[in-house]
Amino acid sequence: MAESTFDRVVAILKDQEGLDDVELTRDTNLAEVGLDSMATVEAVMACEDEFGIEIDPEANPKTVGEFVDLVDGLLDK
């Protein structure tokens, strides 16, 4: 399950402007590849639609791994 969540989250992140050609791993720092706070919120909102979950509006995942864990944690509930 974790692998498929990873793939789906990465697909959403790659939809954000300028990220389609960037290789994303669990350790990728979102800010370092150009995903600022507003772009992160856009990705969070897209994940809510994709997974049918509600994420804390002030959630601030710093890496791809943290982002995936945030989603996975809500899917487990």
Residues noted as catalytic: 36
CB atoms within 10 A of CB 37: 10
Cβ distance to another protein smaller for residue 25 or 60: 60
The interface region with another protein, picked from 6-14, 23-31, 58-66, 69-77 by CB under 8 A, is 58-66
Cβ distance to another protein smaller for residue 17 or 23: 17
Task: Note whether 60 binds another protein by CB under 8 A.
Answer: yes
Q: How far is CA 57 from CA 7, 24, 40, in A?
A: 23, 23, 11
DSSP bridge partners of 63: 29
